[in-house]
Structure 1
Amino acid sequence: MTHSSSNNTVSYLGTGRRKKSIARVRILPGSGKLIINGFPGEAYLQFSPNYIRISRSPLSILGLNEEYDIHVKTQGGGLTGQADAIRLGIARALCNINSENRAILKAERLLTRDARVKERKKYGLRKARKAPQYSKR
């Protein structure tokens, strides 16, 4: 999906989800900046090399680290879920840019939505599956 803003630069959109996190990603031609919710990406991800590496992995696999600016609006969940959601959103947007990217990203399993979410708590139990201690007498 492409979107043209007022200054005639084309941007590419992708949505990523993980657990409770949703990331709406916009990719624009640029110099490699990552902006998340209006903050520099490194600061938003608390300068964690792991989160930064996870978020940028689709770009580094394709060798496009310095080609595009990435603007992300993310909400819900924690930093791990948000970093994974950003990764999926970037991967989907890169597929919109060039369809040849799809095979490479698919081989690296970056286009797979991780469907694991927290299981709901059931009545009579302490958590989703943890039961109260059984007492024989």
Structure 2
Amino acid sequence: MEVINTIGRRKTSVARIYLTQGEGKITVNKKNLDDYFPSAILRTIINQPLELTNEAGNYDVKVNVQGGGITGQAEAVRLAIAKAMCEINAEHRLVLKPEGLLTRDPRMVERKKPGRRKARRKFQFSKR
């Protein structure tokens, strides 16, 4: 039985996963998937690569995720699972690539600039 280890990132979240043959159990930070991600939308995002490759009940996924918020964490886990599915079978790449699941989303929060209130927001100006 082979363990596949991959990493996925999104914003400031980093997800490390360990994928093994099993019955489809997903554990996130030693908690059940439903407990860690209560939102059905986030659980759907995480299961997307497994559903598209028809491997939903075949693998157990153990996830360590840290940093960022819950949406960034869910998308980091999705990227890591998609990468692992490509390691298992190269033909999965043909299904996952057009859906954009193998692309690292580079969008990050823009830094605050000096002399401004936020990254782009200027202080209130009155001509009087």
Q: CA RMSD in A?
A: 0.7
Give the TM-score normalised by the residue count of structure 2.
0.97
Partner of 1:14: 6
Q: Distance in 2 between matches of 1:49 and 1:121?
A: 33
Segments of structure 2 that go 5 or more residues without pairing to the other structure are: none
Pairing of 1:15-30 with structure 2 (within 5 A): 15-30=7-22
Give the TM-score normalised by the residue count of structure 1.
0.91
Segments of structure 1 that go 5 or more residues without pairing to the other structure are: 1-8
Partner of 2:33: 41
Matched residue count: 128
- Kindly indicate whether the alpha-carbon contact (under 8 Å) linking 1:14 and 1:91 is maintained by their aligned counterparts in 2: no
Partner of 1:107: 98
Q: Distance in 1 between matches of 2:77 and 2:111?
A: 25
What are the Cα deviations for residues 44-68 of structure 1, in whole angstroms up to 9, with x where unaligned? 112x110000011000011111000
Offset of residue 14 of structure 1: 1.5
Mapped pair 1:136 → 2:120: no
Percent of aligned pairs with the same residue?
A: 47
Q: Distance in 2 between matches of 1:90 and 1:14?
A: 8
Moved over 6 A (4+): none
Q: Distance in 2 between matches of 1:99 and 1:113?
A: 18
What are the Cα deviations for residues 77-105 of structure 1, in whole angstroms up to 9, with x where unaligned? 01000000000000001111011111111
